Amino acid sequence: MGFPGLSSRQVAEFHDTGYLIVERLFDEEEIDLLQQACDRDPTLVRHAISLQDGEGGTSRLTLWNQPSDDLYGMFSRCERVVNSMEQLLDDEVYHYHSKVMLKEPRTGGAWTWHQDYGYWYQNACLFPDMASAMIAVDRAARENGCLQVLKGSHKMGRVEHLRVGSQTGADPERVEQAMKLLELVYCEMAPGDTLFFHSNLLHRSDQNRSDRPRLALICCYNTKHNNPYRESHHPRYTPLVKVPDSAIKAKGLEVHAQRDFLNVKDDKTVDVNAR
C-alpha cells in the first residue's frame, strides 16, 4: 500500500508549529540506496561549499537547482514528498533547490539560527509560502548535531539577517527574545524520517562532536503563486514532473547494478551564501 498522504491533524500541526516530522516516510531499503549513492558520489565532496560557523568549526554542503533523473531527483520528485508539500502549502509546488548536508564526525560545523526565507526573500519571492523536506540519511541526534527549531517561530514573520562568521544568521537580539517565549525542540530522527518545515521557522544545528556522521538530503520547494518577479540564482516556476514512489527503488537498484551512481552536475552547484 502506498503512502496515503498527510492527515488533517498533521497539516494542522504544521501550520501551528511550523514543522512536522513524518516517521519512516522512507523505508530501510530506500535509505540504504541513498546512503550508497552519497558514499560513492565524488562530486558531493568535490563541490561542497564550506562555511565557517563562528564557533571554530566548518559547515559543508553541496547544493543544486534542477532535479534530474538521478537517485537524488527521484527523492525530490517522488509523490509522497511533493504531494505532502502541496498539502502543507495548499498550492502546486515546484523544485526550488536541493542540498546534501555533510556533517562529518568530529569536524562537522554548526549552523547559526536562521530562517530560509531570510535568504529567499532576497531572491524576489514575495511571500514565505515555501518549505523544505529534510530526509534523514543517518540517525540525527543531539550528539551529532541534529536540527533544532523554535516551535511556532514561523508566526513571527521574516527576521532581519546579519553576517555570523561566514554564514548569514537571524538577528541575535530577536532570536534571544524569541527563545524566552518559544519552546526549543531538538528534531531527533531515525534514518528515513522526514522533517517538513516552513521557510520562516527559526532553526539551527550544533557541531557534530560525535564519532557518527549526520548526512541529510534537504529538498526545498516554492509555490506556483509565489513565482519570483525577477531572475535569481534559484529557478523561477517550472512545472515539476512527479514520479511514483516506486521510482526510488527502481532507480536505485538500476544504478546499483551498474555501479554507476549518477552525480550532481557541476553546473548545479549554487552559492550557498544566498540560499
Contact 131, 6 (CB under 8 A): no
Instruction: Kindly state whether residue 247 falls inside one of the protein's structural domains.
Output: yes
Instruction: Kindly state whether residue 210 falls inside one of the protein's structural domains.
Output: yes
CA dihedral 64, 141, 81, 151 (to 10 degrees): -100
Q: Which amino acid is at 59?
A: S
Whole-angstrom distance, CA of residue 241 vs CA of residue 74: 10
Task: Name the nearest CA neighbour of 31 among 249, 189, 218.
Answer: 249
Q: What is the pLDDT of residue 263?
A: 45
Whole-angstrom distance, CA of residue 191 vs CA of residue 203: 20
Residue 71 has φ and ψ, to the nearest 5°, of: -65, -40
Could you tell me the three cell numbers for 45?
565532496
Contact 229, 124 (CB under 8 A): yes
Residue 140 has φ and ψ, to the nearest 5°, of: -105, 120
Cα angle at 227 between 225 and 231, to 5 degrees?
A: 170
Instruction: Kindly state whether residue 13 falls inside one of the protein's structural domains.
Output: no
Sign of CA dihedral 273, 229, 203, 248: negative
Q: Which domain holds residue 220?
A: 25-267
68-122 per-position pLDDT tens digit: 999 999 999 999 999 999 999 999 999 999 999 988 887 778 889 999 999 999 9
Instruction: Kindly state whether residue 17 falls inside one of the protein's structural domains.
Output: no
Could you tell me the three cell numbers for 124?
524576489
- The number of domains in the chain is 1
Whole-angstrom distance, CA of residue 252 vs CA of residue 262: 10
Instruction: Kindly state whether residue 275 falls inside one of the protein's structural domains.
Output: no
Q: Which amino acid is at 224?
A: K
Instruction: Kindly state whether residue 230 falls inside one of the protein's structural domains.
Output: yes
Does 199 have pLDDT greater than 80? Answer: yes
CATH number at residue 60: 2.60.120.620
Instruction: Kindly state whether residue 10 falls inside one of the protein's structural domains.
Output: no
19-58 per-position pLDDT tens digit: 999 999 999 999 999 999 998 888 887 888 877 666 777 7
Q: What is the pLDDT of residue 260?
A: 47
Whole-angstrom distance, CA of residue 244 vs CA of residue 272: 30
Does 269 have pLDDT greater than 60? Answer: no
Residue 121 has φ and ψ, to the nearest 5°, of: -55, -40
Instruction: Kindly state whether residue 226 falls inside one of the protein's structural domains.
Output: yes
